[in-house]
């Protein structure tokens, strides 16, 4: 059995250098306990080994016994640390009542004259987390900063990582995004440099990566996910965080176009994960992959299961309904979900879907508001993913309002961002929109080039519903009418020939009257015609009175 070389830092954190066989360690310690009992340190090690292999009850029992044994030996700081981990673990598993009781035990023990200053960091961390949960974010940040200072002074690397995580989260919550994620980067550097114990590394990895993905910071998430995978592989028998880590990894895989690997990963988690939140996220992720691949029956079943488990299933379910031709249900579902959207990544995805659906329906005012909200979110969080999403959303509205000239640079910038993120699916969707904008500006050849590029990527990914939608969009349009009219101008002149007023044309094409008036003016100028009556005669003469 290969076991790690252990070295204690000044705060008691164990630094690990090789493979940890936690299953073998648990079995060895359990035999030793049964044979003649364990010391306080042995019980502490047994609690850690039990935690790593997912034996929660044995872990709590061993740490409880260790905390009592440490107290009997006069090592109050070690007893406090055991009590802290029991409370931390129970709280993570959703048992807030018992977790809170153990945290109260931490506070009680810290009042002892025998407690060292290092334990003050754990107390400050507990209070910071509690303040954050009550919405007192400034207080949470102050307490976390205090905990960081104490941990550094006492050279307690584990406490420093936990405190820095709390500080980073609080700074992000109060709008100091850059400062907050600088703290998160410090956490990850400490872990990757092996300055903290494996007990702290697990939750820290997952918490930081989840925070990255909550603001769609894909670059950071991709880097730290690779490190996380290596860390997990070094923990033989690991159970906690395997599921959660796999769900986070699957998100990164999906963005990168590795859909088959993401599907295999999430299928495994959905089948075996016991934590409700992790399982519901895995099932929703599977539903999304089924939808993207056109497996509508599997997607429908997975969305329903995710909803049963308590997961918000929009915008995925709405986009499935869109693919099924039910735009009314799709739009109402996404509108309802937006009223309660919390995390920035989920709200961004909902807003992006609302822009697309409402623009297609013709409710351009709603689409424009959603695009503006998405733009504000992208400005506040300032990630490449969100900026690309916001640029594309704004361009969709501009194309719908017949302003392709303004849309094209936004779409090109969005596509370049997706390419830099190695996000092929999002890049392909953006090229579809580039094709629409090029066509609206009268460049049919350029439009077909964009459609062809999107088609190639979507076919490679197996994105069947999007390929179907692309084929409908990309169907070549008839040549422009005499005089070089654009497709939109050709639509307008046909409606003029039917005797419609500008207001009626605006209602027919979901445009503003001002936009229609501009088109009419352009038509008359291009064709050198003096009036709408002359435009009507021109349409009849050139066979434009029957829509193609």
Helices (H), 177-326: 177-192, 198-214, 218-233, 242-255, 259-272, 276-292, 296-309, 316-323
What region does 183 belong to: left with phi over 0, alpha with psi -120 to 50, or beta? alpha
Q: What is the DSSP letter of 6?
A: P
SS (H, E, C) 88-131: HHHHHCCCHHHHHHHHHHHHHHHCCCCCCCHHHHHHHHHHHHHH
pLDDT at 3: 34
**Average pLDDT estimate for 157-170:** 92
What is the three-class DSSP state of 490? helix
- Average pLDDT of the chain is 88
Q: Confidence band (pLDDT; 50, 70, 90) for 385?
A: very high
Q: Where are the domains of the chain?
A: 383-476, 487-541
Write out pLDDT tens, residues 82-124: 999 998 888 777 677 888 899 889 889 988 877 777 788 888 9
Hey, which residues does 7 pair with through a beta bridge?
15
Does residue 364 carry a pLDDT above 80?
A: yes
With CA atoms as reference, report the closest residue to 454 among 437, 476, 432, 422.
432
Distance (Å, rounded) from C-alpha 246 to C-alpha 225? 9
Distance (Å, rounded) from C-alpha 257 to C-alpha 460? 9
Q: What is the DSSP letter of 87?
A: H
- Beta strand 235-236 with 20-21 is parallel
Does residue 547 carry a pLDDT above 70?
A: no
Does residue 287 carry a pLDDT above 60?
A: yes
Q: Confidence band (pLDDT; 50, 70, 90) for 241?
A: low
Contact 470, 433 (CB under 8 A): no
Q: Which is it for the CA torsion 36, 41, 44, 46, positive or negative?
A: negative
Contact 139, 148 (CB under 8 A): no
Q: Does domain 383-476 have CATH number 3.30.470.20?
A: no
pLDDT at 15: 39
**Average pLDDT estimate for 315-319:** 97
Predicted TM-score (pTM) of this structure:
0.76
Residues 6+ apart with CB under 8 A from 281: 247, 311
| Same fold for the pair 383-476 and 487-541 | no
Helix (H) or strand (E) holding 396: helix 384-400
Distance (Å, rounded) from C-alpha 216 to C-alpha 419? 15
DSSP string covering 447-484: HHHHHHHHHHHHHHHT-HHHHHHHHHHHSPPPPPPTTT
Q: What percent of the chain has pLDDT over 70?
A: 94
487-541: CATH number = 1.10.10.10
Distance (Å, rounded) from C-alpha 537 to C-alpha 514? 24
Residues 6+ apart with CB under 8 A from 149: none
Q: How many of the other CB atoms lie within 10 Å of CB of 233? A: 10
Q: Confidence band (pLDDT; 50, 70, 90) for 373?
A: very high
**Average pLDDT estimate for 147-164:** 92
pLDDT at 1: 31
Contact 40, 257 (CB under 8 A): no
Residues 6+ apart with CB under 8 A from 260: none
**Average pLDDT estimate for 369-386:** 94
Write out pLDDT tens, residues 435-474: 999 998 888 889 999 999 999 999 999 999 999 999 888 8
**Average pLDDT estimate for 473-479:** 69
Contact 166, 140 (CB under 8 A): yes
Q: Which of 42-51, 475-484, 535-544 has the lowest mean pLDDT?
A: 475-484
Write out pLDDT tens, residues 1-42: 333 333 333 334 443 445 788 999 999 999 999 998 899 999
Distance (Å, rounded) from C-alpha 369 to C-alpha 374? 9
- Kindly tell me the burial class for residue 124, based on how many C-beta atoms sit within 10 Å of its own C-beta (0-12, 13-18, 19 or more): buried
**Average pLDDT estimate for 131-160:** 91
pLDDT at 545: 72
């Amino acid at each position: 059995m290969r076991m790690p070389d252990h070295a204690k830092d000044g705060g008691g954190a164990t630094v690990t250098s090789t493979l940890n066989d936690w299953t073998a360690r648990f079995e060895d310690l359990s035999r030793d306990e049964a044979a003649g009992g364990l010391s306080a340190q042995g019980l502490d090690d047994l609690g850690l080994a039990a935690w790593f292999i997912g034996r929660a009850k044995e872990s709590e029992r061993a740490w409880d016994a260790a905390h009592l044994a440490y107290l009997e030996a006069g090592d109050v700081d070690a007893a406090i640390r055991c009590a802290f981990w029991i409370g931390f673990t129970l709280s993570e598993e959703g048992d807030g009542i018992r977790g809170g009781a153990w945290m109260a035990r931490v506070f009680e023990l810290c009042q002892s004259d025998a407690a060292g200053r290092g334990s003050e960091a754990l107390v400050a961390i507990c209070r910071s987390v509690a303040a954050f949960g009550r919405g007192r974010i400034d207080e949470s940040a102050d307490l976390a900063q205090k905990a960081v200072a104490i941990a550094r002074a006492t050279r307690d690397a584990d406490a420093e990582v936990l405190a820095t995580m709390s500080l980073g989260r609080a700074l992000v919550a109060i709008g100091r995004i850059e400062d907050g994620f600088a703290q998160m980067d410090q956490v990850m550097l400490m872990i990757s440099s092996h300055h903290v114990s494996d007990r702290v590394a697990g939750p820290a990895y997952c918490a930081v990566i989840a925070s990255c993905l909550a603001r769609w910071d894909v670059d950071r998430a991709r880097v730290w996910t690779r490190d996380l995978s290596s860390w997990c592989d070094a923990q033989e028998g690991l159970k906690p965080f395997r599921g959660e880590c796999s769900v986070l990894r699957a998100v990164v895989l999906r963005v990168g176009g590795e859909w088959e690997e993401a599907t295999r990963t999430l299928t495994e988690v959905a089948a075996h994960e016991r934590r409700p939140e992790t399982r519901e996220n895995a099932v929703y992720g599977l539903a999304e992959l089924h939808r993207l691949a056109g497996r509508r029956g599997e997607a429908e079943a997975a969305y329903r299961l995710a909803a049963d488990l308590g997961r918000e299933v929009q915008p995925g379910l709405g986009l499935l309904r869109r693919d099924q031709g039910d735009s009314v249900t799709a739009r109402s579902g996404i509108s309802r979900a937006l009223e309660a959207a919390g995390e920035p990544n989920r709200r961004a995805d909902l807003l992006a879907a609302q822009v697309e659906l409402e623009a297609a329906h013709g409710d351009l005012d709603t689409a424009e508001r959603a695009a503006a909200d998405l733009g504000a979110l992208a400005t506040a969080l300032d990630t490449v993913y969100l900026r690309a999403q916001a640029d594309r959303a704004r361009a969709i509205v501009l194309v719908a309002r017949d302003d392709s000239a303004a849309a094209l640079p936004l779409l090109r910038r969005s596509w370049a961002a997706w390419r830099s993120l190695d996000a092929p699916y999002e890049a392909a969707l953006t090229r579809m929109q580039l094709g629409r904008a090029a066509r609206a500006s009268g460049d049919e050849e350029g439009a077909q080039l964009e459609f062809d590029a999107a088609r190639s990527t979507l076919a490679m990914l197996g994105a069947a519903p999007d390929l179907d939608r692309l084929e409908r969009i990309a169907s070549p349009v008839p040549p422009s009418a005499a005089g070089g009219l654009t497709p939109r101008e050709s639509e307008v002149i046909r409606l003029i020939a039917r005797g419609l007023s500008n207001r009626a044309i605006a209602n027919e094409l979901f445009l503003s009257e001002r936009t229609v008036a501009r088109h009419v003016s352009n038509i008359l100028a291009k064709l050198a015609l003096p009036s709408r009556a002359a435009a009507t005669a021109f349409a009849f003469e050139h066979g434009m009175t029957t829509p193609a």
